[in-house]
Amino acid sequence: MSDSTPPNPAAKSHGRLSMRPTLKPRDLMEEARLVRGAWVARIITLFPDAFPGVLGQSLTGKALDFGLWRLETTDLRPFGEGKHRNVDDTPAGGGAGMVLRADVVDRAIQSAMVGAPMDRARWPLVYLSPRGQRFDQAMAHRFSRCEGLTLLCGRFEGVDQRLLDHHQIEEVSLGDFVLTGGEIAAQAMLDATVRLLPGVLGNAESIEEESHSNGLLEHPQYTKPPVWEGREIPAVLLSGNHAEIAKWRRAQSEEITAARRPDLWAAHQAKPKPKR
């Protein structure tokens, strides 16, 4: 075995999803049907066994099984330096923690991006970072319209800046907090993106009505029984008057957004009003 050859432990199987450590992106749909032109997510991580995780469940899991999208992981460790496959080193200039090495992560990126378009508009390369642009619904829609997406899951104190500059990597944050690594954030972002792909959701209209789809938070939802613990469903929702129902839902969305997310409400108010 050469110094550049990764170990080959027994393959681990999660249902129909077969996973094997490799220097190449690991296809988690090896035994499932693949749809031509399916959207692809590629993950570079020190913890490939964290995937598919929750993405293998419910609607995203069914879509993965049906081949509507593909999930591939690239294990960062085999690209490390020396006998112990070191992937990080101390920060230049001193300081606490460790930083992922540019040369190590570069090799992983080169492997993970094989066959992907170089055009970042067609296939974004994203580093999950607390200093990045905040992820939102608009970004999820943008990613879903691409051919695929590669996510670099950070660890420790971050990644050598030279790597980010060299590969023109887009930095994206899940929110104003810090996680121990990018794997949880990657799963959340993929869930928000994959559900927007054609055929993943049974009712496409639900996407148009949910929170953030039009800049507002979603209106309250109700279902049977009509009376529960003395609380009744608002009468307008049982009226059958669809115009009044739509008016009520819009008013509720505006009221909730103004109360809970003043930032979203201010942005909504600033939008040009359609001409009548």
Model confidence pLDDT, tens digit, residues 223-256: 999 999 999 999 999 999 999 999 999 999 999 9
Alpha-helical segments (H) within 119-228: 137-144, 161-166, 183-194, 205-209
Distances (CA, A) of 243 to 207, 239, 248: 20, 10, 9
- What are the residue ranges of CATH 1.10.1270.20 in the chain? 214-270
How far apart (Å, rounded) are the C-alpha atoms in residues 180 and 2? 32
Q: What pLDDT score was predicted for residue 202?
A: 73
End-to-end CA distance of the chain: 73
Average pLDDT value for the chain: 87
Task: Report the pLDDT value the prediction gives residue 213, as an integer from 0 to 100.
Answer: 61
Q: Distance (Å, rounded) from C-alpha 174 to C-alpha 131? A: 10
The CATH architecture one would assign to domain 12-194 is 3-Layer(aba) Sandwich (3.40)
The residue ranges of the chain whose pLDDT is under 70 are 1-34, 203-213, 275-276
CATH of 214-270, one of 1.10.1270.20, 1.10.10.10, 3.40.50.720, 3.40.47.10: 1.10.1270.20
Task: Specify the length of the chain in residues.
Answer: 276
**Beta strands 99-100 and 88-89, pairing class:** antiparallel
pTM to 2 decimal places: 0.80
pLDDT digits (tens, 9 = 90+) for 74-98: 999 999 999 999 999 999 999 999 9
Q: How far is CA 248 from CA 109, 110, 228, 241, in A?
A: 50, 53, 21, 11
Give the strand pairing for 39-45 and 125-134: unpaired
Helix, strand, coil fractions of the chain, as percent rounded to 5: 35, 20, 45
pLDDT (0 to 100) of residue 35? 72
